Each structure stands twice: as C-alpha cells, then as structure tokens.
Amino acid sequence: MLISCAVYENGKKLADIPKEEIHLHLGRPGRFVWVALREPTPDELEEMRLEFGLHELAVEDALHGHQRPKVEEYGDCLFVVMHTVELADGGLLEGEIDVFVGRDYVLTVRRRTREGFRNVRERAEREPHLLKEGPGYVLYGLMDTVVDRYFPVIDALEDELERIEAHIFEGAPARANVVALYALKRKLMVLRHAAGPLHEAAGKLYGGRVPAVTANVQEYFRDIYDHLFRINQSIESLRDMLTTAITVNLSLITVNESETMKRLAAYAALVAVPTMIAGIYGMNFDVMPELRWHFGYPTALAVMGIFDGYLFYRFRKAGWL
C-alpha cells in the first residue's frame, strides 16, 4: 500500500501528490519525489519501476524480500537493503526496508515492520538546509534511524543476559538456564545478521569513490559507519559473555553432580559399616566368637554406632555432608 507521496524542492516540501503526478516533477533541478510503500503488491512495484526507470533485478529483490543488507549501484540508481530489528513479545521481530535512491527520487519499500519512518520525514522537513542536499540526505536519515533502533535491542539483550546470570548463581534449574541462554543466542544472531553486513555496506558510501547521490553527505555516512562499528563491538562482547555464561552453567552442573556423588558416597559408607558387621554375624556357622555372648547384640550395635559416628564426623569435616 502507498503510505505517502510528496515532492520537495530546495529543502522544502511543496505538496503531497497522487502517484499519477510523479512524472510531472521528475527531472526538474533541485526537486525530488519521496514515495513510501508498505508491503507493496507486484503491480505497485511494477508501476514504480516504470515511473522511475528502476532496474528489474533490484525490483525483483524488493519484491521477494529476505535480502542480505547491502548497497548496490544500477547506473544512476542506488539500491540499499537494510534489516530492522524490533523488540516484540519477548522476542525480536526482523523486518526489511529497501530503498531506491536516484537523482530526483527516493522510493522506500517496507516489509514486516511495526514501527514506521514518519519521524524521518518530520526530521528532514525540520532541517531544510540539509534536505536541500536531496535524496542522499533522505537515505542518511533512513539508515541513521534503522541503526539507532539497534541500540535499545542491545540494551535489552544485555539486561536479559544479566537476569540469566543471576538465575544461574541463584541455583535455578540448569535445563531452564541452558534453554534461556540458547534463546538469547538466537536473538543475538538476528541482530548480528542485520548489523554486520550493513556495517560493510555503509563503508561504500563515504571516502574514495562513492555514488553520486551521496557525494555531498559523505561525513554523515561516516558517522553511521562509526555507530555500526560500536554496535558490532557490543555484539561481539555479548557473544563472548554468552559463551562464558554457557560454560559457567555447564561447570556448575558438573560441580553439583560432583557434590551429589560425594554425598551419595558418604551415605553409602555410613550404611556399609553396619551392613558389614551384620553380614558377618549373620553367617550360618555353629562356631563363631561371641555368638552366644549375653552382651553380643548391644555390643554389635555400639560398634556400628561408633564407626558410623566417626565416619560422619570425618565426612562432615571434609564437606561431604
């Protein structure tokens, strides 16, 4: 569906226009058209392809979605794919925004996202001195917003890891901890697959040979590149901490099992001494020492108690009980 279609000139919005009038504003100096689509149909994309002269391969990528974050040039057109990551119902919702940028147009195609980009348009309209740079600045605003939305996700994942670590040392069930850690690992991979390739792609938009539409705003894309560098560093730090947490959890499982085995061994020893004495005097021999002794029974019980008391004292002192 069509979200908006507006025309801008020299950094100021002229008007919202119907899509049938787009061709009337293309090719004019200092003027460009900004069109936003959400979950478009093939017919809508085909209409935009004919209107702006988009490359069919880029349109095909935008139609099918599920593309890796990238920046590609098709003549004078720049095709940019970015992944959005949003917090949703305890998980992460991964969406996609495809951006076509030309000398006199910007076309955005948004899929599987809850939060829109109205704030980007409002921000651009509040900064006419930058918006007059044209479609390149609009691309910067979109990319900057996508990247800024990664930071709350990282903070949420860090908080989740801290909660899991607290549960680990509080003695929560080991299986539940392992399940939570691997669920967190999957979320982290979603964010990594979004930010990692985009970091590489952003490097193509500043320094050296850059696309013509971004030539006047290179320093802004360098700022985005720095933000993505920080985000990827945070992701790698989280991965290391997550790996450590998994190792610690498995180590605690081993320690708990060892403690359990020590207790079982101690209790087995306490039972073994009376069993041994009772077993000896339970043998069916006619001639045995103390077999018919009047104090034999209480003496045997006393010996069992003394041995078990001594063993209990030693095990307790050693920390086995």
Q: List average pLDDT for each run of 10 residues in the chain, which is 321 residues long.
A: 88 89 88 92 91 91 88 90 89 92 92 88 89 91 94 93 85 79 90 92 83 85 93 93 85 75 79 80 71 75 82 76 72
Would you state the pLDDT for residue 285? 66
Please report which helix (H) or strand (E) contains residue 214, including its range.
none
β-bridge mates for residue 70, sequence order:
81
Closest CA to 270 of 299, 303, 304: 304
Chain centroid to CA 212: 34
How many Cα atoms sit within 13 Å of 182 on the Cβ side?
A: 6
Would you state the pLDDT for residue 70? 92
Domain with CATH 3.30.460.20 in the chain: 2-253
- The residue whose two tokens read 């994309």 is 45
The tokens describing 215, both together, are: 């030539």
Domain with CATH 1.20.58.340 in the chain: 256-318
| The CATH fold of domain 2-253 | Beta Polymerase; domain 2 (3.30.460)
* Plot region of 73 (φ>0 → left; ψ -120 to 50 → alpha; else → beta): beta
The tokens describing 176, both together, are: 């539940």
Domain 256-318 belongs in CATH node 3.90.1150.10: no
The backbone torsions φ and ψ at residue 5, rounded to the nearest 5 degrees and listed phi first, read: -150, 110
Residues composing the chain = 321
- pTM for the complete prediction? 0.79
Would you state the pLDDT for residue 321? 72
Cα 216-140-33 angle, rounded to 5 deg = 85
Q: Are 42 and 84 in contact (CB under 8 A)?
A: no
The backbone torsions φ and ψ at residue 167, rounded to the nearest 5 degrees and listed phi first, read: -65, -35
Closest CA to 180 of 246, 95, 132: 246
β-bridge mates for residue 4, sequence order:
36
The tokens describing 82, both together, are: 């970015």
Would you state the pLDDT for residue 251? 78
Please enumerate in sequence order all residues whose Cβ is within 8 A of that of 15, keeping only pairs 6 or more positions apart, or say none: 6, 7
Q: What is the DSSP letter of 10?
A: T
